[in-house]
Structure 1
């Protein structure tokens, strides 16, 4: 029996079923103090994302459902994915034999391809997951030394494609728009103009930039990330970094740089060291990433002022299977990698940050007494600007002197929070002081702890 005609009909009508009964999530917006994201009702939103760049391109509906269900169970609330994907996304079809553009022309999107995207978007919403949607990977603007491209975008067709995709998803309340895609704009090129045209087209397509929460995904850069090129652009609602895939680097400095910029905008690390990733792309000499290195980077970033944090797994972003050629040495099939340690630990960071007043949280490095080196032992602090609590992250458990006088009570409750398990240990009370020394329960690499001081 020839099933192709029935499959074609199903591809057309299945997304319509979702439209009529589609799940909706509250729209997100920037908080009044310009530091965080909140829902349209004003509730705090801690960005806890997974990078699934190839989700639309390589996964069929059953696989996408499996992935999204598991990530929702693990506490993720955002998935970062790309419409015109990285791994030969224009010429290698999706599981249903469709490519995204007719004749690789951005003026001719293929509705059959995007019906699959429609379906996965609604699957995500049904799981309570927002989608940070990249309209295209950066190699379609600038192929560089990696990526297959081809380079198909100009200012004109980027504007047109932006309008088309923005208009298509203007009623989807759970989309966050991400311009760029692992490319930094080149000097003396049209790159910046193309990305701005894409952003402008999306803004028009959705009915105004106030309806399109938007950022830009760069390569590793300095001193900032997206802020290096677009901080003053009205369409850029929050800044994003890619701090890259090396274990020992002071990522908190990049977050701190953006936190200090004017005008004030939220910031976060949208691509840190991935789980199962070769350190600095050099597995032979440096091995693969370790959970404790990933945790340290995440807590550093958030305590430095980021409004959330992205996670990634090297096997999962590319949806690696043993039947596919892996990129940069993946270690296991993606379905197995869904269960790796950090994928189950990142929720402890989200739960911790939402356990105390969120929208008044500020960096508080002034609480750390003494000089520190920028190495894996670096201790970092955050606190409530109203003085109700402070949190201090100890990456390796070394004792440290803390100035707790910024808190509003002379008596402070002490709790040690375990980032590996989410368990909290009640450690009694202490008095607010300029020079209180605190010693975490255990010490050494992999023995990271958060000291919580609550004013009582």
Structure 2
């Protein structure tokens, strides 16, 4: 069943009072995004309805998509987005914009936010969208989308802010000024965050980083994509971007807007490499959220490009048509994290590595710890044992092991006046062994 209640009915989306999260009025809003960059150009209205309903029923509440991604931009019917490939004039003869608005309408009816990129960053970096034609295009967007309740704006688009900083500032400031009540962010290049260039801009409501698609060992690849000397290149440790962004003032929420996609080549470009799997996308999600991210964005290689074999080879080693990939395991498992965080007062929680008595592990051996006054959540990617200090929490705690694959909670007993305790995640058998430990203040003190 689809929840017909729309989040904006509780109040406009805005930043929480502590500057770390998003809220609708007084109600916490956990960003669970999906990546649908080419939805407007590659789908019919019927297909868009199928995709959006699938994501709604899996708990997603934000869809990231690009209004003008490819160049030149046409939709599946061959209708142009622009007149003479000039952002100063949107083409209203064909159905490009009417279909785009129809898809945004679908999302609104389902209670989904659309996080819209006016243009993919490469179109700005190459000068197609520039200071001379930006205002005319932005006027059009403000008129068409500026009063809708379900719009979030993302400047950028897989690009460094210094590629065209004044254009990005114009885009961000115009949208913030013209679209009252709509949040504005910036989607950056891989292994970077919007905070590097725009953290102190008034128009930037939240930060977004792209932890990207590489393994720890994939530092220096192609010359245009070389992050070997990037001091903020944290490899797969996407939680470090959250820690970095939250170390800046003023405090702003942050989110991983593009981690490794499910079923995409590790490193993107070399077909001899392996593919990222569901357990990998789970790890990125839990690592960043338990470091204090405002939510998480999932991505699937086939879905982000809406691949169909009739289109040819496709990008980044894509193997599945999107209508098959829509059912991939990782896309169904993200809701378990969202449901977990919404069970507790997560917006008043903090990353709490200091409660880990055992030695904190590096890379895959890391144990994430996040705690509030009456709860504690720990994620062990490898399913290894760990020891926690418990004296600062309620005297009686209910303990559960939550399986991030299934979302099932397995009650593990009550902890009474425990000062310190070692925890052993259950054995999963052959395969991957990530587990979530959930400790909450006991609702009943009856001991069986």
TM over 0.5: yes
1:171 alignment partner in structure 2: 147
Whether the 8 Å CA contact 1:396–1:445 is kept in 2: the answer is no
Matched, 1:153 2:129: yes
Q: TM-score of the superposition, structure 2-length normalised?
A: 0.88
Written as runs of structure 1 = structure 2, the 5 A alignment for 1:424-435 is: 424-435=409-420
Match of 1:93 among 68, 71, 74: 74
Instruction: Write the distance in 2 (CA, Å) between the matches of 1:273 and 1:84.
Output: 23
Q: How many residues align?
A: 412
Instruction: Write the distance in 1 (CA, Å) between the matches of 2:324 and 2:339.
Output: 25
Offset at residue 370 of structure 1 (A) = 3.5
Instruction: Write the distance in 1 (CA, Å) between the matches of 2:273 and 2:317.
Output: 13
Offset at residue 152 of structure 1 (A) = 1.2
2:395 alignment partner in structure 1: 410
Written as runs of structure 1 = structure 2, the 5 A alignment for 1:182-201 is: 182-186=158-162, 191-201=164-174
Deviations 1:324-343 (A, max 9, x none): 13011101100100000001
Written as runs of structure 1 = structure 2, the 5 A alignment for 1:34-433 is: 34-39=19-24, 41-85=25-69, 89-111=70-92, 112-143=95-126, 151-186=127-162, 191-206=164-179, 208=180, 211-222=181-192, 225-248=193-216, 249-281=236-268, 284-325=271-312, 326-384=314-372, 387-407=373-393, 409-433=394-418
Instruction: Write the distance in 2 (CA, Å) between the matches of 1:432 and 1:231.
Output: 44
Offset at residue 69 of structure 1 (A) = 1.2
- In the alignment, structure 2 segments of 5+ residues that lack a partner are 1-5, 217-235, 443-448
**1:123 is paired with a residue of what secondary structure?**
helix
The answer to which of 280-289 and 327-336 deviates more is 280-289
Offset at residue 427 of structure 1 (A) = 0.6
Instruction: Write the distance in 2 (CA, Å) between the matches of 1:31 and 1:114.
Output: 34
**1:233 is paired with a residue of what secondary structure?**
coil
Task: Name the CA shift for 1:369/1:333 in 2 (closer, same or farther; >3 Å).
Answer: same
Offset at residue 32 of structure 1 (A) = 1.3
Deviations 1:411-450 (A, max 9, x none): 2211111100010011111245453111111268621111
Match of 1:449 among 418, 435, 438: 435
Instruction: Write the distance in 2 (CA, Å) between the matches of 1:284 and 1:221.
Output: 21
Offset at residue 92 of structure 1 (A) = 4.6
Instruction: Write the distance in 2 (CA, Å) between the matches of 1:157 and 1:368.
Output: 54
Instruction: Write the distance in 1 (CA, Å) between the matches of 2:73 and 2:200.
Output: 37
2:221 alignment partner in structure 1: none
Whether the 8 Å CA contact 1:419–1:448 is kept in 2: the answer is yes
Q: TM-score of the superposition, structure 1-length normalised?
A: 0.87
The answer to which of 286-295 and 348-357 deviates more is 286-295
Task: Name the CA shift for 1:393/1:437 in 2 (closer, same or farther; >3 Å).
Answer: same
Q: How large is the RMSD of aligned CA atoms in angstroms?
A: 1.8
